[in-house]
């Protein structure tokens, strides 16, 4: 979370400096949204896995995503074509909650950069009371969107749709388990490993809405895990969807 807030602050600071060096122009629209030629957005959503075995099921509402993206729009095909190309950078943070109190653990046979799915109680004790149990997977991501604005005269007040691509680099992954044991009390275990996850991911993205609010979905084209290194040797793909707020 600290990294996300830092990125947002840097993006705002860079934009403010750019505005100070530019000629003075009105900075707000009638609708009250700052008329700044950049987009900082926060995405809230849920994660799901496709092409997965039945045993790799997720708790949908426990599998959440929180993303922050800063993008720079460029008008293309003329000032009133309605089309904008928006490259950017951001952080994509994901949590996965597996059903039946299960989580990832390193494979005893494959060792480093591998994972198997196990019942947490089979590892830490059958008498424990599980409080927290999830997998966190975080990426530095570069999005590029091709956007079409219905209102060609004023993009800042327009309904818009966009198709885009995202490429992400895995910079951190860990499991987090906390439980209450009758013998040891509250125990928190955070294990940082790769778990056989692919270090690079790439996908397609769709957005629809206004500059201040939109719905979105992203489907990642390559498997989440390296070949034969994940649970059940799966080739599962991640799909995420949700709502977003455009800050400026």
* pLDDT tens-digit readout, 192-220: 999 999 999 999 999 999 989 999 999 99
Q: Report the DSSP pairing between strands 160-181 and 83-96.
A: unpaired
pTM of the full predicted structure? 0.83
User: What's the mean per-residue pLDDT of the chain?
Assistant: 87
Structure confidence at residue 2 as a pLDDT band (50, 70, 90): very low
Q: How many CB atoms lie within 10 A of CB 148?
A: 15
Average pLDDT over residues 109-115: 94
* End-to-end Cα distance, the chain: 20
The percentage of residues in the chain with a pLDDT greater than 90, rounded to a whole number, is 78
Could you give the residue ranges of the DSSP H alpha helices within 38-184? 120-124
Residue 93: what are its φ and ψ, rounded to 5°?
A: -110, 135
pLDDT of 226: 96
The 10 Å Cβ neighbour count of residue 118 is 15
Provide the pLDDT for residue 39. Answer: 84
Query: pLDDT tens digits, residue range 27-55?
Result: 343 344 444 456 899 999 999 999 999 99
- Among positive and negative, which fits the CA dihedral 121, 123, 128, 129? negative
pLDDT in tens, 128-144: 999 999 999 999 999 99
Question: Residue 38's pLDDT is what?
Answer: 64
């Amino acid at each position: 979370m600290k990294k996300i807030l830092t990125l947002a602050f840097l993006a705002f600071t860079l934009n403010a400096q750019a505005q100070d060096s530019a000629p003075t122009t009105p900075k707000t629209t009638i609708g009250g949204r700052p008329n700044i030629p950049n987009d900082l957005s926060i995405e809230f959503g849920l994660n799901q896995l496709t092409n997965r075995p039945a045993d790799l099921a997720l708790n949908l509402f426990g599998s959440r995503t929180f993303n922050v993206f800063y993008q720079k729009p460029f008008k293309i095909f003329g000032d009133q074509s309605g089309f904008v190309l928006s490259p950017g950078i951001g952080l994509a943070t994901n949590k996965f909650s597996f059903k039946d109190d299960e989580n990832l653990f390193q494979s005893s046979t494959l060792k480093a950069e591998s994972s198997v799915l196990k019942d947490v109680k089979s590892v830490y004790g059958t008498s424990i009371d599980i409080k927290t149990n999830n997998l966190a997977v975080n990426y530095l991501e570069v999005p590029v969107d091709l956007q079409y604005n219905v209102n060609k005269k004023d993009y800042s007040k327009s309904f818009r749709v966009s198709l885009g691509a995202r490429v992400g680099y895995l910079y951190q992954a860990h499991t987090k388990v906390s439980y209450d044991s009758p013998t040891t009390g509250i125990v928190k275990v955070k294990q940082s490993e790769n778990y056989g996850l692919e270090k690079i991911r790439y996908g397609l993205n769709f957005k629809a809405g206004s500059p201040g609010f939109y719905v979105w979905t992203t489907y990642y084209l390559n498997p989440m895990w390296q070949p034969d290194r994940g649970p059940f040797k799966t080739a599962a793909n991640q799909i995420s969807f949700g709502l977003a707020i455009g800050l400026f």
